[in-house]
């Protein structure tokens, strides 16, 4: 009887390890299919505080424990404008989860950004990097650039250029990242 219990335990452990490997491969596949550079090992994101369109000060550290979609953009940037509707769809799908979008506008006036956001009906949080200091800290050389942060505040992925953030693979990637939160799916 003891041998049978041991064999069942060993089988279940082996199955668990295999399932984790399969899940990790699927996770890597989402990065690949979206053309996102997977950062391995993950790197702790540098904290910053910026003005929001509605709130005087928002800090990255305020979102510890959440998956953060950190996007650097500007209203004059055509690829940025192309991906904005998909970012809004991503926000609508996951805003009730432990997920936040921080869309950091680079070096533009608050009035111009506010007008752009309202005209297009975007509801995700928009931060103002009016001096470009945060963009410099994150080494932004081209926009749009998006960083994905895990619930521990570590950068796990970087996307240079526009993406279809409303695609099935993008949704699955965010769901996978959310599964690593205490309150997220899974």
What pLDDT is attached to residue 3? 64
41 burial via Cβ count (<10 Å: 0-12, 13-18, 19+): exposed
In the chain, what are the domain boundaries? 2-178
- Domain 2-178 is in which class? alpha beta
- The length of the chain in residues reads 186
pLDDT along the chain (186 residues), means of 10: 63 58 66 94 98 93 97 98 98 98 97 98 98 97 98 97 97 94 52
The pLDDT of residue 183: 47
What are 177's two structure tokens? 């990242």
Q: Looking at residue 184, what is its pLDDT? A: 43
DSSP 8-state class, residue 46: P
The predicted structure's pLDDT at residue 9: 66
Tokens of 10: 């060993």
Neighbours of 57 (CB within 10 A): 10
Give the span between the Cα atoms of 4 and 68, in whole angstroms: 46
67 and 74 in contact (C-beta within 8 Å)? no
CB 144 within 8 A of CB 55: no
């Amino acid at each position: 009887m003891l041998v049978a219990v041991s064999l069942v335990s060993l089988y279940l452990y082996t199955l668990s390890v295999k399932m984790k490997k399969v899940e990790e491969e699927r996770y890597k596949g989402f990065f690949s299919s979206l053309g996102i550079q997977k950062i391995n090992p993950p790197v702790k994101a540098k904290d910053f505080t910026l003005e929001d369109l509605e709130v005087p000060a928002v800090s990255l550290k305020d979102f510890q424990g959440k998956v953060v979609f950190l996007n650097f953009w500007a209203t004059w940037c055509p690829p940025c404008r192309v991906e904005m509707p998909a970012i809004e769809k991503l926000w609508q799908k996951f805003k009730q989860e432990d997920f936040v979008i921080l869309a950091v506008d680079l070096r533009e006036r608050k009035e111009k950004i506010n007008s752009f956001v309202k005209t297009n009906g975007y509801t995700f949080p928009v931060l103002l990097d009016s001096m470009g200091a945060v963009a410099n800290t994150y080494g932004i050389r081209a926009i749009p650039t998006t960083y994905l942060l895990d619930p521990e505040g570590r950068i796990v992925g970087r996307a240079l250029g526009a993406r279809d953030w409303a695609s099935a693979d993008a949704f699955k990637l965010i769901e996978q990242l959310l599964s690593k939160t205490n309150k997220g799916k899974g």
